């Protein structure tokens, strides 16, 4: 066994901050105190980061943990371990637990579970509507006033499809600077059975289609509601070129809208469905290559603000149904950095600073998380992620810290790997080892 993962005074040596020139970073009491050429203090543990890229700790604005309710699929602790392994220092836990996170009691419970584990800051998201039913507003203000300080609200998994309810939610949360993260899916155009991109392949496979217009139409309506209410909209998992165009239009108009894309919609396409393997069943579904490429363009031109995992763990038996009956979603906390680095940074389509903006700075800002997504500079909280940009590795689903095995990346090889994760000066993960919790 190796020595326990260090905490206390850390000296990270030779790291390429945001991929730029090498520097040392001294961390004391959870705070960055010095950056540059630093002499080793006597009490410091040295983390040799020669050749590694140093990023602000990653922030995932869209994670599903299954606690409370489905602890067989994922707990806050197992999800936290996966997050730490994946380079995250903060994750936002979606509200579709059982019971639903639609009260102060539930969000505080999730917050406390996250703190008890302590590997990553678990920030609960509150439901927009009671029971995710889309009819009545949940206690948005009480969740905000709770210890969990909820600022992001989402019925994710379900669309807040009623225009009146969506309008009221946006209006109401303006009082405390909240944001609605919308799962944009018109249920009349893409119902519960819709499980494949509507097009030639879904026609051939005989799978119920999920048309792009079901996404774009809701984004358009919500953007106009955000404008009308002078409130803030975050569009979860944009998947289509059409949806992206609407976001682009809304931003050009000055509407307070932000948007996210997932690694799987960026890197995987609908052809994966040809063998009816439910591991590739996700909502919204994987799209054609043209859409994935449009999303990549959206990362570069600023239409997409955030890359979020939509990590959706499921018990194995919930995925072993016929395709249309199987649970939606795939896991992604441990692979997202590698997927994005390999897809976008390695070929030179974007730099590490872009990745840091998309996976740390912007999600932290949208979610209003103080202490995350901050510059790597003296006085800032030491939430840091070291990346080995040259390490090539093959995903093995059995090695996952998540309880779940619905891993679409299994067997795929990536160049770029999380090396070390530091939460307020404590190393939570290092070269595959996770701090116990």
> Is the dihedral angle over the CA atoms 341, 361, 145, 183 positive or is it negative?
negative
Query: Based on CB atoms, which residue is closest to another protein, 174 or 397?
Result: 397
Closest CA to 316 of 326, 308, 306, 303: 326
DSSP 8-state secondary structure symbol assigned to residue 358: I
Query: Based on CB atoms, which residue is closest to another protein, 70 or 374?
Result: 70
CB of 162 to another protein, least distance (A): 21
Task: Give, for 299, the enclosing helix (H) or strand (E).
Answer: helix 289-301
CB of 165 to another protein, least distance (A): 25
CA angle 294, 298, 303 (to 5 degrees): 140
Judged by CB under 8 A, the stretch of 272-280, 300-308, 376-384, 408-416 that binds another protein is 272-280
> Is the dihedral angle over the CA atoms 166, 169, 175, 176 positive or is it negative?
negative
Query: Based on CB atoms, which residue is closest to another protein, 315 or 382?
Result: 315
Helix (H, G, I), strand (E, B) or coil at 314: coil
Q: What part of residues 52-91 is at the interface with another protein (CB under 8 A)?
A: none
CB of 214 to another protein, least distance (A): 13
Q: How far apart are CA 8 and CA 30, in angstroms?
A: 7
Per CB under 8 A, does 266 bind another protein?
no
Q: Which of 175, 275, 300, 399 binds another protein (CB under 8 A)?
A: 275
Q: Which two tokens stand for residue 188?
A: 């009349």
CB of 163 to another protein, least distance (A): 21
CB of 323 to another protein, least distance (A): 5
Q: Which two tokens stand for residue 89?
A: 């220092």
Cβ atoms of 112 and 360 closer than 8 Å: no
Query: Based on CB atoms, which residue is closest to another protein, 172 or 280?
Result: 280
Beta-carbon contacts of 267 under 8 Å, excluding residues fewer than 6 positions away, are 292, 339, 343
Query: Based on CB atoms, which residue is closest to another protein, 199 or 375?
Result: 199
CB of 202 to another protein, least distance (A): 6
Q: What one-character-per-residue DSSP string does 211-244 give?
A: -HHHHHHHHHHHHHHHHHHT--EEE----SHHHH
Cβ atoms of 222 and 182 closer than 8 Å: yes
Build a one-symbol-per-residue string for 186-215: x at contacts with another protein by CB under 8 A, - elsewhere: ------------xxxxxxxxxx-x-x----
Query: Based on CB atoms, which residue is closest to another protein, 74 or 318?
Result: 318
Answer yes or no: 121 catalytic.
no
Query: Based on CB atoms, which residue is closest to another protein, 288 or 363?
Result: 288
CB of 324 to another protein, least distance (A): 5
Q: What one-character-per-residue DSSP string does 48-97 give?
A: E-TT-EEEEPEEEEEE---TTT-TTT--HHHHHHHHHHTTEEEEEEPS-S
Distances (CA, A) of 348 to 89, 131, 267, 305, 394: 26, 44, 16, 19, 21
Judged by CB under 8 A, the stretch of 97-105, 109-117, 273-281, 408-416 that binds another protein is 273-281
CB of 130 to another protein, least distance (A): 23
Phi first, then psi: give them for residue 418, nearest 5 degrees.
-70, 130
Distances (CA, A) of 383 to 30, 31, 178, 234, 371: 8, 8, 24, 24, 8
Query: Based on CB atoms, which residue is closest to another protein, 84 or 201?
Result: 201
The verdict on whether omega for the bond into residue 284 sits within 30 degrees of 0, i.e. cis, is: yes
Build a one-symbol-per-residue string for 326-365: x at contacts with another protein by CB under 8 A, - elsewhere: xx--------------------------------------
CB of 67 to another protein, least distance (A): 21
Q: Which of 310, 318, 342, 388 is catalytic?
A: 310
Query: Based on CB atoms, which residue is closest to another protein, 56 or 278?
Result: 278
How many residues at the interface with another protein, by CB under 8 A?
26
Phi first, then psi: give them for residue 279, nearest 5 degrees.
-60, -30
Q: What part of residues 300-329 is at the interface with another protein (CB under 8 A)?
A: 317-318, 320-327
Report the catalytic residues: 310
- Judged by the rule CB under 8 A, the positions of this chain that interact with another protein are 198-207, 209, 211, 275-278, 317-318, 320-327
């Amino acid at each position: 066994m190796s020595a326990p993962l260090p905490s206390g005074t850390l000296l990270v040596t030779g790291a390429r901050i945001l991929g730029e020139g090498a520097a040392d970073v001294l961390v004391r009491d959870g705070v960055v105190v010095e950056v540059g050429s630093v002499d080793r203090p006597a009490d410091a543990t040295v983390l040799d980061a020669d050749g590694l890229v140093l990023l602000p700790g990653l922030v995932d604005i869209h994670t599903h943990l299954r606690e409370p309710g489905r602890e067989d699929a994922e707990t806050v602790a197992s999800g936290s371990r996966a997050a730490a392994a994946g380079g995250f220092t903060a994750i936002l836990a979606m509200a579709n637990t059982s019971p639903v996170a639609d009260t102060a009691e539930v969000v505080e419970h999730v917050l406390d579970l996250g703190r008890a584990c302590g590997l990553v800051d678990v920030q609960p998201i509150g439901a927009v509507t009671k029971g995710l039913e889309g009819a009545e507003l949940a206690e948005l203000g009480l969740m905000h006033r709770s210890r969990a300080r909820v600022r992001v609200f989402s019925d994710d998994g379900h669309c807040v499809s009623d225009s009146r309810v969506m309008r009221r939610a946006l209006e109401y949360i303006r009082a405390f600077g909240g944001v609605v993260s919308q799962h944009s899916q018109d249920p009349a155009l893409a119902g519960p059975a819709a499980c494949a991109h509507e097009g030639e392949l879904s026609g051939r496979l005989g799978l119920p289609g999920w048309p792009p217009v079901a996404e774009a139409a809701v984004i358009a309506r919500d953007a106009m509601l955000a404008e009308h209410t002078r409130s803030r909209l975050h569009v979860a998992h944009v998947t289509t070129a059409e949806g992206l165009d609407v976001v682009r239009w809304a931003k050009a108009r000055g509407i307070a809208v932000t948007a996210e894309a997932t690694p799987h919609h960026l890197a995987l396409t609908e052809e994966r469905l040809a063998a009816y393997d439910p591991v590739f069943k996700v909502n919204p579904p994987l799209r054609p290559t043209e859409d994935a490429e449009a999303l990549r363009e959206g990362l570069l031109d600023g239409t997409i603000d955030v890359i979020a995992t939509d990590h959706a763990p499921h018990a194995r038996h919930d995925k072993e149904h016929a395709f249309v009956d199987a649970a939606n979603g795939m896991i992604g906390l441990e692979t997202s950095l590698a997927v994005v680095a390999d897809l976008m940074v390695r070929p030179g389509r974007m730099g590490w600073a872009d990745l840091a903006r998309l996976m740390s700075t912007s999600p932290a800002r949208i979610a209003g998380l103080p202490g995350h997504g901050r510059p790597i500079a003296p006085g800032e909280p030491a939430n840091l992620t070291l990346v080995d940009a040259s390490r090539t590795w093959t995903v093995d689903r059995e090695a996952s810290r998540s309880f779940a095995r619905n891993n679409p990346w299994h067997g795929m090889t990536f160049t770029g790997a999380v090396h070390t994760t530091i939460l307020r000066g404590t190393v939570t993960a290092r070269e595959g080892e996770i701090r116990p919790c």
